[in-house]
Every structure is written in C-alpha cells, then in structure tokens.
A and B are shown apart, each in its own frame.
Chain A
C-alpha cells in the first residue's frame, strides 16, 4: 500500500483530506527506479479547481505514455495545510508517489490566470526550491511554466527556468529527450538551459536582458547568450484530431469544479473579438473530426464513469459539425442518465431545440454575452452580436418556456461613454420587456434577468493591448452608474445586476501587461502574506498596495497610459503568428467603430495562415 506523506493526525484535522492523498481512479503509478524523468505537474490553485483543468490532464497523459517518464500532480495546499507544512517543516509533495517535489527533475506549472502568481511562489517555497532561478543548483528541479499567461511571462521571469510558449503537444518530447541526454552527461544546469533555449517555442528568461528608457518604457530587449533566439515562436498543433487526448482522465474522489468528461471540439475562434486574448493566441481555428469526438465520448464515459459530458471550445456554435455531434450525444447517452452540457452556444432556434432536450427549461437559464450594452460599443469591440439577435433569441426562448436569462457585460472598455454604460441596464430591460409582450396567460410568472459585468483588462497580443485602464475608484463609479440606471428601468423588479471586484481588476492589469520589474512586487506581496488572490475571502488588497509602495512600482505606469504605437512591449519577443501590424490595424478600426468580418466570412490576413492549416485553408484544398 502507498505510504502517505502526512500522518493520520494531520489528515484528520484538516479540511478535505482527499485533496492530498492521491490514489484516484486512473491516476498513474510507476516504479520510480525504472524511470529516467520525474515530472511534477502543478496547477497553482486548490485541488478541486486544478483537477478540473483539461490542459493538465492532456499533458499528464502525454508524459505518462513515455516509458521513461513518470508525471505526477501537485496542487496548492489550502491555507490550513499551508500552515501545517510550514510548522512541521514538511516539504510539498506530489500526489501519486507522495515524494517531495524537490526530488523531481521537473516542476511544470500551468499559469492560467494572473491572480495565481503568489500561489506559484508558495509552491516553490513549500517545495524548498529557491524562488529565483539564478539561485537554483543542479539538484533543484527545472521549473518550467506554460499556459496563457506565458504569453507575457515577464512579471514571472525571475522565478522560472524555462517558459513553454504555446500548445504543449509539440516540443515537450524534444525537451525531455534533451534532458535525459544532458543528465547522463553530467553537465551544468546552465548547459541544459542553453540546450533548451535552442528548442523552438522555449524561452529561457535568464538569457535575455531588458534595458529601459528614462520614461520607464523598454529601450531594448536582447539575448545575452548565443543560444537564445531573438524571437520565440509559439507552438501549435496543426492536426488536433490526431494529437494526444486523455482517454482515461483521473477521476477525483471529492467533487471537482468540472466533474465530467470534457470534449475539446476545436481550438481557436474565428470571431476576432478585440478584447479577447484566447481569440488571438490560439489562431488559427482548428476543428477535431466529429467521428473521433464520438469515439472519445464513448471511451471516456466508460473509463471514468462520469455522469456528465461537456463540450469545450471558445465558441461551440462555430464548430461546423455541431448538429451531428450533439444529435449523437443525445441519442446515445440521454437515456443512460448522462447529462449533456453545452456551454458557449449562440442562442438560436437550433440551440434552443437542443437545450430543451438536455435540460429542464424551468430551472435552467439562458446565457448571452453581448459584452457591451450599446451597438456602438459592440462595434468597437467587434462583438458580432446585434440587439436584434439577442431580442429574437430571448423571445424564442421565452416562448419556449424559459424565464431566466443571464447577460454578461464588460465595463471600462476603450472609448466607453456614459451612454454606453447606461445601455447595459436598458438592454437588460428590453429583454425583460420582450418577455412581458407574451400574453399573461401564456407566461410562467415573472422573468428573471441577471446582468453581470466584469471590468475590462487589456491583454497582450490583442488589438486592445495599447489601451489604458482606470483606477479602482473609476471602475466603482462606472458600476454604480450602471446600477443606478437599472433602478430607473420599467422592469427593475425583474432585473438583477452584479459587478466584479475593481481592486482585483487593477492588479490583474499590472500582471497582464507588466514587465520584469513587476516580479519584485509579486515577491513582496507573497512575503507580506498574499495568497489565493483570486478567492474573495483571502484576497488582501491592502497588502498588495503595501507591496507596490515598498517596491516603488507605479501602478499608473502599467495601467493608465495609452501605450505608444511603436512602444516595445515586454512580450514583443514572442511570435504568435498573428502580426503586430494586424493588431494595430484592428485597434485603429476599433477607434473608427468599424467591424471586421470573421475568418469564415473573409480572411483579414492576420498572419496565422503561415501555420498552413485550420480555418485559413478550409475549403481551399
């Protein structure tokens, strides 16, 4: 039987001990003496969140297919466990073997959102790995980061040995093979990092230097070692159908956020919303074959025993074989007590028909993401959803028996006026009015329209990467203005408005577009006690502000400037295949309120066609 890293006394006195014991169905056990490489794969948040992430499951499966590698999982210990590990000086361990992370060859950390940065330092700290890459020796694991935030890795540059830019399926094998050879050769850590830096898509921060202008902007960003290329090219899998996919995902004992089989139907999005980073960095859009997906659905449901299956993509409605796939899922699984969950569907006659088959209309709600209240604003952000489409969709839904609608908006978008803000409330009201147009005897009581807004954060590699943000007080003012407008509406009793936290938004902004100098704020915040910043109950804005003060890093410099047309951005050394000139063109079109057609309507020559596949060549060969 496996021996646990923690004794009974500890496990019986903490919240959800199952977070730390491993041994789940489909978790992979190997003999550590029979493998060459031990890889600890970390999602820096609690188990239930981390276990729900598809990307980790893909890499876990992919690595463990290699006979010479054993990949295990690590998640952030919750505060109670954090305390125990520190007090008793127990090093952080991986779930499968329960061995200290410190003994591993690699510690891979997926970086999915900016608010997990202090958690990354916690992982390193509890693993007894030096926080700074330059302080690590040959006996420390190689710390490698990946995921969407790696598209601007600079705030974390000092803490990582390597960043993997792009999709994990391409060059990891090459990296692991290189590692194996290097390990046998007994070379220095630097030797290995030099070899890694030569692999396409890998970025080794210590081989680059940044120089700054007097105004604080970057003057130059240059390699300081011959092994380091001046541009790091993002990795993409062109054949997503044949890419590795986990047929036996790990099934947690405790309920994870995603307690279901996830079918990733496509990567990328044809739409080109100007605020959306995923829509740019995952270009070009690539679909998985529908027959493969059907096979995956059968096999994965059988292997996990999950009672739910969900489609995953940025915009499911754009998947060309959606009808075929959904019909199959309903016919094959509905009678076997399997729930079918269809997120990110555009509301139209087809999707309403499908949804009425898979969910209880009275209990479920419909979701629209207009993102902005006014048509003008939607044109600026290139969100191709018109008010007519929303009202028609909502009307059909109401007539079909739905009474609950959720609307998602953003506040603080570039060029936003008070009129645009107020339109959020008015549009919500017009949706409610559409409901009350139905004769009373055909209605089911009142309708419930819930509008939520988050504050817009400009992200690297989007047309809005030049945009300015606002101070927290200004976000609050805007949210209150919208809230007041809601109170003015005819159907205010059927409307509900929620908005996100403004303080977190400001931080997210600094992390998203920060440079290397932001690293010391993160470190200071961590030392002051910041952890789990994405959790409302643990987020300490006061400590973060103190960290900015202590390190003399100016939030306004990062957030509140419209950045110069030709300013060197911290992430400029990465080549995502989408050209900066395209992004700039899109920024200018946004300022002119001009919409850009999606990839299937008309190619806008963004540059991603250079990858030679996906939507860019659809119907052309």
Chain B
C-alpha cells in the first residue's frame, strides 16, 4: 500500500464551502479522476483519506493537505492533471507526492505550524499606524487570552505560539503553532490585538481577511524546532 500526500489551494467562491464538504468534494474527485484510492472494509467502505487541519469557512488557502492510500502506482503529474480536470474553479491540486509508510508521518499527527496572512478588508476602519501598534502588541512578553473550547474556558499565553511574524503586503504575516497539541488560530491573535486597540468596544467587527499560506511538520530534535513544509516530506512519483 502506497501513501500519498496531496497539496491543494482553496480560493474564491470555494471559501464558503466548509471542511466536511471539502472532504466530500475530494471523495468525488478521486472517483471522477480515477485515482486508485484504497478503501476500508465492511458493508459501507469509505476512502482512506485524512486532512491535515480543517480550514474555517471564509478562509482562502495556498497550502492545504490531505493524505490518502493508493492501491496502485500513479504518476504524480498525471494524477494532478486528472484531479484538476475533474475539479472546479476554486480548488486547485498543486502536488501529489509519495510519503513514508509509518503511521506517525501522516496528516494531523505531524502538523506543527501554519503560516497565515491577515489583510485588512476594504472598510476595516483601522488607525493609520496600526502595523506599528501591532509591533508593540507583539513586543509584550506575554499575551494572555481566554480560550474557549467546547467544554471549558482557560486563560493561556498565546505569545509563545506565534513563532514568527512580520508586516507583509499591507497586512500581517504570522507563523502560528498548529496541530493537536497546541493550535492557535489567526483570528484569535488579531481579535486580541483589536481588543487591545479599542478596549472600550465590546462588540468586535471583523476587519481582516485571512489566508492560510502553508503548513509545516517539526523535524527538529530535543526541543529544537525545525519546521519543514508537509509537501517537502514527500517525493514525486
């Protein structure tokens, strides 16, 4: 059994399609493109397919990943071509690469970080010097926020989860912790910043558009972070 990793982009109108529907979309693409994907057994077999990290409704992305198992060999370029031919405008398959067999190398388990770009939308109503203020905001030793999960609410320090950041293309680029252990969403960073900016306002407007750019695994040892893109862990077939 061959394991393969697919990288794709999601943009335009397709940002209104939620994660579950993207999964259904790819299941159907596999059949239309005739990709020899493997199934589980039983009365209602389903495709062996796992996504690195769900993308929220409204976000665009240049770096989405899903891992599949193949029952037979495919040619990377040919498979990419066929999937795009069977696809729609708004989801573009970028690559299909073979990845190592081991279980711990797939999908969500190795995800460690993700890049995002937050761009102000047209009528954002931000102050002129908002990027400078953002620098000051990030300059704090600690940024404490209430993080709500389904079951509980806890205060965490999000500053260490922002691995890198910079002003880019009139917006903010951020490399954030991602995956099952620590996961920081870009809107939480920006919402916290906005609250810092206008402490008196209790209802937040949402002046940023978010785009995920890339996802990474951590290949470092003994606590030294060494981020490599999920794509680079695979090889063209």
Near A by CB (< 8 A), chain B positions 1-35 give: 12-14, 16-18, 21, 24-25, 27-32
Query: Is A337 within 8 A of B21, CB to CB?
Result: no
Query: Is A339 within 8 A of B12, CB to CB?
Result: no
CB neighbours (8 Å) of A339 from chain B are 44
CB neighbours (8 Å) of B25 from chain A are 253
Nearest Cβ in chain A — how far from B82, in angstroms? 12
For B28, give its contact among A2, A12, A251 (CB under 8 Å). A251
Query: Is A307 within 8 A of B27, CB to CB?
Result: yes
Number of interface residues of B (CB under 8 A): 30
A22 to B27 alpha-carbon distance, docked (Å) = 19
Nearest Cβ in chain B — how far from A94, in angstroms? 15
- Indicate whether A305 sits within 8 Å of B21 (C-beta atoms), given known contacts A2-B13, A24-B88: no
Nearest Cβ in chain B — how far from A8, in angstroms? 7
Query: Is B58 within 8 A of A302, CB to CB?
Result: no
A360 to B43 alpha-carbon distance, docked (Å) = 6
Nearest Cβ in chain A — how far from B66, in angstroms? 15
Residue B51 is within 8 A (CB to CB) of chain A in the complex: no
Classify the secondary structure of A's interface with B. Answer: loop
Nearest Cβ in chain A — how far from B175, in angstroms? 25
A375 to B31 alpha-carbon distance, docked (Å) = 49
Residue B89 is within 8 A (CB to CB) of chain A in the complex: yes
Query: Is A307 within 8 A of B31, CB to CB?
Result: yes
Residue A359 is within 8 A (CB to CB) of chain B in the complex: yes
Residue A18 is within 8 A (CB to CB) of chain B in the complex: yes
Query: Is A21 within 8 A of B31, CB to CB?
Result: no
Query: Is B21 within 8 A of A18, CB to CB?
Result: yes
Query: Is A1 within 8 A of B89, CB to CB?
Result: yes
Residue B54 is within 8 A (CB to CB) of chain A in the complex: no
- Indicate whether A254 sits within 8 Å of B13 (C-beta atoms), given known contacts A8-B58, A303-B32, A307-B31: no
Residue B39 is within 8 A (CB to CB) of chain A in the complex: yes
CB neighbours (8 Å) of B90 from chain A are 23
Residue B195 is within 8 A (CB to CB) of chain A in the complex: no
Residue A293 is within 8 A (CB to CB) of chain B in the complex: no
A467 to B46 alpha-carbon distance, docked (Å) = 50
- Indicate whether A304 sits within 8 Å of B57 (C-beta atoms), given known contacts A23-B88, A24-B88, A25-B88: no
For A17, give its contact among B16, B44, B46, B47 (CB under 8 Å). B16
Residue B167 is within 8 A (CB to CB) of chain A in the complex: no
For A337, give its contact among B12, B29, B32, B39 (CB under 8 Å). B39
Query: Is A253 within 8 A of B17, CB to CB?
Result: yes
Query: Is B44 within 8 A of A360, CB to CB?
Result: yes
Query: Is A255 within 8 A of B24, CB to CB?
Result: yes
Residue A595 is within 8 A (CB to CB) of chain B in the complex: no
Nearest Cβ in chain B — how far from A294, in angstroms? 18
A363 to B43 alpha-carbon distance, docked (Å) = 10
A11 to B21 alpha-carbon distance, docked (Å) = 16
Residue A600 is within 8 A (CB to CB) of chain B in the complex: no
CB neighbours (8 Å) of A363 from chain B are 43
* Interface 1/0 per residue, A353-368 and B, CB below 8 Å: 0000001100100000
Using CB atoms, name the residue of chain A closest to B90: A23
Nearest Cβ in chain A — how far from B155, in angstroms? 28
CB neighbours (8 Å) of A369 from chain B are none
Q: Can you report 5 A-B residue pairs in the complex whose CB atoms are below 8 A from each other?
A: A17-B57, A18-B17, A25-B87, A253-B17, A359-B43
Which 7 residue pairs spanning A and B have beta carbons closest together?
A: A305-B28, A305-B31, A360-B43, A17-B16, A305-B32, A337-B45, A253-B21
The residues of B with any CB-CB pair to A shorter than 8 Å are 12-14, 16-18, 21, 24-25, 27-32, 39, 43-47, 57-58, 86-90, 121, 209
